[in-house]
Structure 1
Amino acid sequence: MGSTRLTISLCIVLLLGGVTVVPVAVTAQQDRVTITATIVDQDGRAVGSGVGVTATWDGGSVSETTASSGQVLLDVPEGANVSIQVDDDRYIRNIPYTVEDASTESVEVPVAQSATAEITVRNTDNATVEGARVFLYRGSEIVTNQRTGADGTVATGAIEAGAYQLGIQKAGYYTTRSRVAIAGQASLNRTIEEGEVLLTVSVADDTLEPPADLNASVRIPAVGTLQTGADGQTGTQVAVNTNYDLVVTADGYQEATRTVRVGESDTTVNVSTARVDEINVDAQNQSIIDQPVRMDITDEYGEPVTGATVTSGGEQVGTTDDAGVVRVTPESTGRVTYTIDDGDTTETVTIEVFAPNELQGTATPAASPTPSATASPAAAETTAGDGPGFTPLTVVAAVAALSLVAYRRR
Structure 2
Amino acid sequence: MRTKYVLLVALLLLVSVVTPAAATAPQEQVTLTVSVVDQHGTGVGGATLTASWDGGDATETTRSNGQALIDVPRGASVALTIEDDDYVRNLPKMVPSAEGGDVTVDVAKKGSATVRVESAGGEALSDARVIVSQNGTTITHGETNENGGFNAASLEQGGYDLRVVKPGYYATEQSLTVRSSFSLQPVTIEQGEVTARFGVVDDHFEEPRALEAATVKVGSLGQFNTSDDGTRAVSVPVNTEFEVRVSKPGYETATRTVSIGEEDETTTLAIQRTPALSVVPANTQVVVDQTVEVQVTDEYGDAVADATLRVDGEAVGTTDSQGTARLPIDSAGDHDVTAVKGEVTADAIVVEGVSGAQQAQDPATATATAEPTGIDDPTTTTESSGTGPGFGVVLALLALLGTVGLLTRRR
Q: Same fold (TM over 0.5)?
A: yes
User: How many Å apart are 1:229 and its aligned residue?
Assistant: 1.6
- Correspondence for 1:107 among 72, 86, 103: 103
Percent of residue pairs bearing the same amino acid type: 31
Give the one of 51, 60, 72 matched to 1:56. Answer: 51
CA distance in 1, matches of 2:164, 2:80: 32
Give the aligned residue type for 1:282: V
Query: Residue 67 of structure 2 aligns with which residue?
Result: 72
The residue aligned with 1:147 is 143
Q: Which moved more, 1:305-314 or 1:80-89?
A: 80-89
Report the alpha carbon displacement of residue 352 of structure 1 after superposing the two structures with TM.
1.1
Structure 2 counterpart of 1:158, one-letter code: S
The whole-number CA distance in structure 2 between the counterparts of 1:268 and 1:31 is 58
Q: Secondary structure at the match of 1:357?
A: helix
Q: Distance in 1 between matches of 2:85 and 2:169?
A: 37
Alignment of 1:11-160 (within 5 A): 35-42=32-39, 44-47=40-43, 50-57=45-52, 59-67=56-64, 70-77=65-72, 79=74, 82-99=78-95, 102=98, 105-139=101-135, 141-160=137-156
Give the alignment's Cα RMSD to 1 decimal: 2.8
Q: Which of 255, 258, 265 does residue 257 from structure 1 map onto?
A: 255
Q: CA deviation at 1:292?
A: 1.1
- 1:258 Cα deviation (Å)? 2.6
Q: Matches of residues 1-16 of structure 1 in structure 2 within 5 Å?
A: none
Q: Does 1:195 align with 2:192?
A: yes
- Offset, 1:86: 2.8
SS at match of 1:358: helix
Residues 280-336 of structure 1 show CA distances to partners (whole Å, capped at 9, x for unaligned) of: 222121111111101122222221111111012433211111111111111111111
Matches within 5 A, 1:267-286: 267-283=265-281, 284-286=283-285
Alignment-derived partner of residue 377 in structure 2: 393
Q: Find out whether 1:165 has 2:149 as its counterpart.
A: no
- Give ranges in structure 2 of 5+ residues lacking alignment: 1-24, 364-374, 382-411
Aligned residue in 1 for 2:220: 222
TM-score (norm 2): 0.75
- Rounded to whole Å, the distance in 1 between the matches of 2:29 and 2:316 is 81
**Is contact 2:81–2:92 with CA below 8 Å preserved after alignment?**
yes
CA distance in 2, matches of 1:261, 1:199: 10
Question: Aligned equivalents of 2:122 and 2:361: distance in 1?
Answer: 87
- Cα 1:349–1:161 shift into 2, 3 Å: same
Q: How far did 1:119 drift?
A: 1.1
Listed one character per residue, the Cα deviations across residues 378-401 of structure 1 (whole Å, up to 9, x for unaligned) are xxxxxxxxxxxxx9714589xxxx
1:40-98 deviations in Å (ceiling 9; x for gaps): 222x42145x442324345453422432xx33231425636554333222111122323
- Counterparts of 2:77 and 2:249, CA distance in 1: 64
Q: Distance in 1 between matches of 2:247 and 2:329?
A: 41
Name whichever of 135-144 and 286-295 sits farther off: 135-144
Structure with the larger helix share: 2
Moved more, 93-102 or 134-143: 93-102
* TM-aligned CA distance change 1:300 to 1:162, over 3 Å: same
The size of the alignment, in residue pairs, is 340
Could you state the TM-score of these two structures normalised by the residue count of structure 1? Answer: 0.75
CA contact (8 A) 2:32 2:72 kept: no
